[in-house]
Amino acid sequence: MKVLTIAIILILAFVSGICALEWEDMGANLSIVAGSDSEEPVWIGVGNRPHGGQDETTFHSTTAGEAVYECMCGSENDDCDWYFRIEVDGIQVVSEGDHNCGCLDLVAGIFNIHSIDQPIHMEIQIDCDEVCGVWGRVFMPPLAEFQAVPVSGPVPLVVQFENLSQGYYASLEWHFGDGTMSSSENPTHTYDSAGDYTVTLIARGRNVSQWLDAPSSTETKQDYIHVTDGMIGDVNNDGIITASDAQLCFQIVLSLYSPTPGEEYRADANEDGQVTAGDAQIIFQLSLQ
């Protein structure tokens, strides 16, 4: 299994006083920007300890795809040795480390998780003569999922979208199929024209660096939203309710005709979510008025 890694050790500039910071505080304040329902990363670390230490944990993947890892090492001098390793199903996929660690080292990269519930083992260690710390974390791959209510109706149709994405995602991008989009967690959108609309949700994960795109997941539902013109009962959508509409409704009930989403919507005269003989009777009565 290949590790797609930047393997870039970003030795941050010696900002005045940065090495005097409490390492536990620095580890806790590493930025995480995510959606409100996003899964938090899994952490391990050795913080604010003289002479270093070791930490490890085993957990199971909740999603599959490209996972992001990050590791930060810090010390009060330039004479620390550290390593950070990740195994998936007993196979090592990440191995990072450094001798003579500087004031602050940061490494990050991507590795692959092939299925849900795979065991992941993460291990970290630092050895130093001074106070030091090292932290590692893993961000699960994003998995885009969504649903909407209602998915059909007449113009103007107001639809409430619900984000059901899993794993870690830092941002969401909705495409509603009518040329508009949103980055909200659970957006509401109004369709002003009749038609069938394909909806896409893109969930983007942790941004590793400017040289590598963040992991992402896309869910697309083809012709998911059905927006209709016309009125309930006018099954054939010719502008008037006649006995022909009642007859077409009966054909739908008897499975003699396969309706379009719009026809099915207009045939549901009592608006209970299904087309029955009762709807045909209502439409026939309307045709007599």
CA distance 42 to 57: 9
Residues 180 and 58 in one domain: no
Domain final residue, candidates 74, 105, 139: 139
Going by C-alpha positions, the residue among 10, 8, 23 that lies closest to residue 135 is 23
Residues of the chain where predicted confidence (pLDDT) is lower than 70: 1-36, 47-52, 76-78, 99-104
Q: Please state the domain count of the chain.
A: 3
Full domain range(s) for residue 12: 4-139
Q: Give yes or no: residues 14 and 121 share one domain.
A: yes
Q: In the sheet where 188-191 sits, what is the strand order?
A: 146-149, 157-163, 188-191
pLDDT at 67: 96
Same domain for 150 and 132: no
pLDDT single digits (tens) 200-215: 999 999 988 777 789 9
In-domain check, residue 218: yes
pLDDT of residue 102: 59
Closest alpha carbon to 244 in 230, 233, 253: 233
Q: Using the 3D structure, point to which of 78, 108, 139 is the last residue of a domain.
A: 139
Residue 83 domain flag: yes
Residues 168 and 269 in one domain: no
